[in-house]
Structure 1
Amino acid sequence: MKKYILILTLLLASVMSAQPYTVNYQLNVVDPCTNSNYTALTGQFNAGESFTADLTNWSIPNSLLPWEDLIKFFDGSVWSLDECAISENLQLAINITKLNCGTENDYDYDDPLFFYVEVAVIGQNSGVTPVDQDYMFNSGCFATLDIPITPEKIALLTELDISIADIACAYYYAGSGWTSSGMSWTIENNTLSLQLSHFSKFGGGKGTLVSSVESEEVINQIPSKFNLDQNYPNPFNPTTNIRYTLPTEGEVTLKVYNTLGVEVETLVKGLKPAGTYEIKFNADNMPSGIYFYELRMNNNSLTRKMLLVK
């Protein structure tokens, strides 16, 4: 009898140990003007399963109405996690964020990513993983986000001058900044599918912008003057770094022009606080030659020359 009890106990323990890990989630939208979080959805799913972000009945707060179309870009999206991806129970805060504080239908971002998501993770055993760190999945296992591209979303993309075929995605790696490494995406059957190797920050935008602006580093110091440094390295192929300083807050643009004066890239556009910034410019899709980059803030402007040699 004791033998059978022992066998039954072992079987029960085996079944219990085989139970998938659970994921509790909140899908939030961050008010860009107040940094307030509004929770649109909460729920739970098991690793190996998925949940659908049904935002149809969510009453969007008045302060977020200017970004209603962008928020609803995630309506109907399906979030899933391979069963093998995690080895502990998780709590996720999925934050749709970094929308500009502006007027209605203001989609003029200072970031090339028209959608931007941060995933904060609390693990049962690993504790809190900030969004500027990487919560890595077990090797060979992934999270997937499938976003259906409806006619309404196509209209939004058209307004942003983005075609479906031109969508590109970027991923954040701690210590490396924004990159396409560790992520793959496809667009098939009117669905944008992203496969993620870890939780941190990710987003999507127009392909030429996403590939050109890989990262921008804010250096913690308040400069005394408006300045634009010479890019380095120079000559370069195909990436170079551009540093600039702002003594006060202001509307800033940093643009690249060819020798005919035609604008070929917008690297920065939007309101920036005082500080020193460094941005990486990728000219992989451009021909060799001389280019000019111009920094403007309020009534001030500075221009420098750089040489791309392939």
Structure 2
Amino acid sequence: MKRAIILFALVLFTTSLSAQNSVRYKFQVRIPTVGIEVLEEAQFFEGGNFSIPDVVFNHPPFNELYEAVKGGTFYLDDNSIQQDLYMEITMEGLNPLTGALYQLFQEPLFLNLRIDVWELPDNYNGPYPPAFDPTSPFYFNPGTGLELRVNKTDAFFAFLNQIGISPDEDLGFAFITTTGFSGNDITSTDTPEYVSFKTNHLSKFGGGRGHIHDVVIENQTIILSPAKGYSGSSDTPRLKLFFSPTDSLILQWDRFITDPNMKFKFGSSSGNYNLGELSVSGQRKGFIPGGAPYNLSTGRYYGLITNSIHNTFDEIESDYNADPAGIEFSNEIQFIIEAQNAPIPTSPKGEINDATPIFQWDAIPGVPAYWLIVSSTPFTVVSLPNGDVSVQGANILWNYITDKTTVQYGEVNPNSPYNEQAQPLLSGNEYNYTILNLYDDQDISFASTVFSGAFAFTYVAPQQIEKPQLVEPADSSEFIGTNEILFKWDPVQNANNYTIYLYQRVQSFAGNDQQIDLPIWNSTTTNTSISYPAITTLSKGSYVWNVIATDNSGNGALSETYLFTYDIEMGSFRVQAVNTETGDNLLGFNVEANAVSGGVSPANPFIVTNSTSYVDSLVVGTYQFVGSKTGFYDSTVTAEIVANGQTNLTIYLRPYPSIVSGTVIDQNNSPVEGATVKFTNLLTSDENSVTTNSNGEFSATIPKGTYKVTVTKP
């Protein structure tokens, strides 16, 4: 990607006059679809200076620009201003052809360091920035002014190389004036140590490489934002993945469309848009997918905007390559029309004697997979005002993802995010479970919030043993930074061994507010006590524990459950995921936090389902945050969690560049449902697998390469 820099674009806004000499400033970055993040806010004085600070910074593609200008210094000549000033220094992306703010990773793109300056009236107390007054004159004395001096560091030369400027050029003239900027009274100096840009009459000015105007856009020409919809009683649409058949779906894109041939086309598999189309114009379009004339049924759908007559991504891209001046297309988005009911099980129910019962339910039309969750405690389902669902009180023993409608208790599915071995069912205990609709057979981020309720059964064993009595820590104990916690219980007659289970009690799960006890550790021993390394594994929060005693016949008995709290220095974080191709925020992604210095690695990933960002806390330390989402490469960001502060993280996920789709048929030309299609990269041996739907169709997003394709059917 070609990128250039408008190294110094300045706009001055003025008000009334009075001689004062201080400059209040903000140094910040403007992140598309997210907003402004302030990196430093301070003040300097006439005749003084300030340097661009060295801060923790990770916002591609601005990283290279920041490293190039970091340490650069702003100087203000003595007696050069008549008023106090307010200044904002903003890193942002611009389209040089229009001057408009531009989405990330879209060409043509200037990386811009923008400086806005306002003159302030006497005794001004805000707001910042002040209101713009275009009638006021500029009051900077002729012959003096503001200077930006950028040091010639290795990072600076690396950036020049990336944007195509030779270090042998006279850098004072390398940054030439472009349309929309005035170069009056700008002087530049190229020295062995630094490049200096100085204005004597502070007007709007800037520069950039002229060849940026010749950039050819190689991919999409329209940026289509993720679908939006209304939730609850809100009058404002928000990003939304799940829609009911009667919901309005709102499309928005980045520029005004007048072409009468432009359509939004959609289909039921990625890269195939053969189910329908609707005309689009302007910058927004709303429609009801489940209403006439589309009448879309339950399922997961994919769509894009194009003026091509064809209905597959490969054909549309081929049309564009043949006629890049005439054919346009956007990125692909997806939306889900969710079923309005969830499965109701036929078994198990009531009292059972089988320690590994079979769970069965009827299929929901259009739902490709299911998520079965079994809890040792009753739980309630509460509808929230925004339309989401809260599940409260669950203590998850076992869960399973499947595209079938039957599964035996205790089976292990590697596609489930929690694939610990199931705890044995205990005689006399009532168990509760529910089955959720899932619109991806490997990713619980696509779990629907439609519930059919919680269902119960009671297991009664042929023979029983006594349950263990817990000794320490006592119920509701408190620990502050304790190195080790000793768990202890009384012996049980005829017990062959004991298994202790430790859970973290959380208030948010899979993107919804819900109290759930998540398993984080278990251990089996023949002793009646065991030590646990708390300081290296526990974060601040609430925990519960219990013990199962098991005899030689495999019968078990569960103790009571005790609660304790653990307190340790914590810091919060806010994480979001952004599509590198479009700059759009992503829904339905997972984040794994791995401690690399200090800190504690959580046992479970953070799952972000119903929002574009997620806020939580971690033990103070340095972490690697690994973001993942189906159809995207994993991405890692390293960041420090600080005490009593919030660290803002953006994880940029790059989508797989290739879409492969097709249909599997048998010898009778009938579609084969449930077949596994495996793609093996002949160079790297990496494998990607997908499963055919009820029509025998499949679609996979995979990296470019040469593949061996095999199809199997159990």
Contact 2:188–2:198 (8 Å) recurs in 1 = yes
Contact 2:184–2:201 (8 Å) recurs in 1 = no
Q: CA deviation at 1:208?
A: 5.0
Number of the residue aligned with 1:110: 108
Alignment size in residue pairs? 199
Determine whether 1:121 maps to 2:118. Answer: yes
Amino acid at match of 2:23: V
Distance 1:52 1:76 in 2: 5
Deviations 1:16-47 (A, max 9, x none): xxx9611111111111232x111122221111
Question: Quick one: structure 1 residues 116 and 51, their matched pair in 2 at CA, closer, same or farther if it must change by over 3 Å?
Answer: closer
Question: Quick one: structure 1 residues 222 and 74, their matched pair in 2 at CA, closer, same or farther if it must change by over 3 Å?
Answer: same
Determine whether 1:95 maps to 2:90. Answer: yes
The one of 147, 151, 155 aligned to 1:148: 151
Amino acid at match of 1:101: Q
Determine whether 1:47 maps to 2:46. Answer: yes
Structure 1, unaligned stretches of length 5 or more? 1-18, 211-220, 227-246, 250-293, 300-310
Question: Quick one: structure 1 residues 121 and 27, their matched pair in 2 at CA, closer, same or farther if it must change by over 3 Å?
Answer: same
Q: CA deviation at 1:295?
A: 5.4
Structure 2, unaligned stretches of length 5 or more? 1-18, 95-101, 125-129, 214-254, 261-280, 284-323, 330-714
Contact 2:25–2:41 (8 Å) recurs in 1 = yes
Q: CA deviation at 1:297?
A: 5.9
Question: Quick one: structure 1 residues 201 and 160, their matched pair in 2 at CA, closer, same or farther if it must change by over 3 Å?
Answer: same
The one of 47, 69, 72 aligned to 2:67: 72
Amino acid at match of 2:27: L
Contact 2:92–2:111 (8 Å) recurs in 1 = no
Distance 1:86 1:97 in 2: 27
Matches within 5 A, 1:134-283: 135-164=138-167, 165=169, 167-170=174-177, 177-199=180-202, 201-206=204-209, 209=212, 224-225=258-259
Amino acid at match of 2:142: S
Distance 2:50 2:32 in 1: 26
Larger relative contact order (Cα-Cα within 8 Å, sequence gap ≥ 6)? 1
Q: CA deviation at 1:131?
A: 10
Deviations 1:57-87 (A, max 9, x none): x122x5x243211122220111011223211
Distance 1:129 1:69 in 2: 32
Deviations 1:217-236 (A, max 9, x none): xxxx957349xxxxxxxxxx
Secondary structure at the aligned position of 2:181 is classed as strand
Contact 1:129–1:135 (8 Å) recurs in 2 = no
Distance 1:205 1:147 in 2: 16
Tell me whether 198-207 or 83-92 shows the greater mean CA deviation: 198-207
Contact 1:183–1:194 (8 Å) recurs in 2 = yes
Determine whether 1:86 maps to 2:81. Answer: yes
Contact 1:169–1:202 (8 Å) recurs in 2 = no
Deviations 1:214-259 (A, max 9, x none): xxxxxxx957349xxxxxxxxxxxxxxxxxxxx667xxxxxxxxxx
Q: If the length of structure 1 is used for normalisation, what is the TM-score?
A: 0.52
The one of 291, 313, 328 aligned to 1:298: 328
Amino acid at match of 1:163: S
Contact 1:121–1:135 (8 Å) recurs in 2 = no
Distance 1:132 1:29 in 2: 25
Q: CA deviation at 1:54?
A: 2.4
Contact 1:170–1:179 (8 Å) recurs in 2 = yes
Secondary structure at the aligned position of 1:119 is classed as strand
Contact 1:146–1:192 (8 Å) recurs in 2 = yes
Number of the residue aligned with 1:22: 22
Contact 2:182–2:204 (8 Å) recurs in 1 = no
* Identity in percent: 20
Number of the residue aligned with 1:33: 33
Amino acid at match of 2:258: S
Contact 1:145–1:194 (8 Å) recurs in 2 = yes
Distance 1:90 1:116 in 2: 18
Give the CA RMSD over aligned residues.
4.1
Contact 1:30–1:96 (8 Å) recurs in 2 = yes
Question: Quick one: structure 1 residues 225 and 135, their matched pair in 2 at CA, closer, same or farther if it must change by over 3 Å?
Answer: farther
Q: If the length of structure 2 is used for normalisation, what is the TM-score?
A: 0.24
Contact 1:25–1:44 (8 Å) recurs in 2 = yes
Distance 1:154 1:296 in 2: 39
Contact 2:149–2:196 (8 Å) recurs in 1 = yes
Amino acid at match of 1:182: D
Contact 1:116–1:203 (8 Å) recurs in 2 = no
Secondary structure at the aligned position of 1:141 is classed as coil
Deviations 1:251-300 (A, max 9, x none): xxxxxxxxxxxxxxxxxxxxxxxxxxxxxxxxxxxxxxxxxxx956627x
Distance 1:126 1:201 in 2: 26
Distance 2:326 2:123 in 1: 45
Contact 1:97–1:118 (8 Å) recurs in 2 = no
Distance 2:131 2:140 in 1: 13
Amino acid at match of 1:23: V
Bigger Rg, structure 1 or 2: 2
